[in-house]
Chain A
């Protein structure tokens, strides 16, 4: 039986992206945990978080963090879909569209949450 190579590109770039974002997420998660839960006196409060998020540096860090999480997480989901379900072209395009839409929606939701904070 002849090998079916499947449609589209192989996935080298996305595979590399998954590794790079995975490596970047590790210190990012650690930094997030330390800043939010260890570097803060007593409990995390809305005011403390709002004050930090309002600075341009933290806005950039949070948006970068958000992008990494969405890319890494949704590529993982897409990879699982490719393994088992997204084999027929129509279904694959539909599922891909859903994954991209969810990613964009989450990113926009993150942006409208992060950006309005003012110092």
Chain B
């Protein structure tokens, strides 16, 4: 079955402005958008650039805007979409080339919230155990694959890319609500900064965009409640 793909193209080394190029691809029923992009790159136009890696919705490399919505190209099947399929890079991030965006700032923000267990305040020789009930409290927080779909869909981030963004805040929540973690106060300076928690306006775009059905907005609200409880 032939399908048309309208793909965003941009080469910073040429003087050409960004434009859309249409490709016709003979797709199979089981194909994902990534399969179609691979077919374009391998059989029609080797100059097309995009990120891909695991092909199983785990690495988060192939997040892009497909028919107006942030998606993982490796998870979205072609047959679920009608008409010409429009493929663009993630919005809100600087485009380096074609569908490849600059994720430097995004990962800088993730790093700023110290995404690791801070449990050094009470040293122990033993393993830090966690009950199944306490572990369950992390459901919905730990599954983030860092694809950037949420942050790139956030209007607050579009207008201010210094804002931490939903992915970094979800990551902060994952550690702040871990019963073994003792680093909430260490993270507070970043969370309670001018570009931290308070720039979120609960627009819920991040919830809609997340390919793993996570809820960064809820995590942000919980972090705010904890911060308010600690400060007051």
Contacts and interface: CB of A to CB of B under 8 A. Distances in A.
Given A5-B112, A10-B194, A79-B201, 8 more contacts: A3-B112, A3-B162, A10-B192, A12-B227, A12-B228, A82-B199, A83-B199, A87-B162
10 contacts: A2-B112, A3-B162, A3-B164, A6-B193, A10-B191, A10-B197, A11-B194, A12-B192, A83-B156, A83-B160
A22 to B, nearest CB: 13
Interface string B188-230: 0111111111110100000000000000000000001001100
A7 interface: yes
A11 B163 CA distance: 13
B160 A87 contact: yes
Contacts of A3: 108-109, 111-112, 162, 164, 190, 195
Contacts of A7: 194
Given A1-B105, A16-B228, A9 B194 contact: yes
Contacts of B156: 83
Interface string A11-42: 11011100000000000000000000000000
A83 B160 CA distance: 6
A5 B199 contact: no
Contact of B198 (A2, A12, A87): A12
Contacts of A84: 159-160
Interface of A: 1-12, 14-16, 79, 82-84, 87
A102 to B, nearest CB: 21
A119 B181 CA distance: 63
B231 interface: yes
A6 B194 contact: yes
A1 to B, nearest CB: 4
B105 A5 contact: no
Contacts of B224: 15
Contacts of B107: 1
B104 interface: yes
Nearest to B224: A15
Contact of A4 (B111, B162, B189): B162
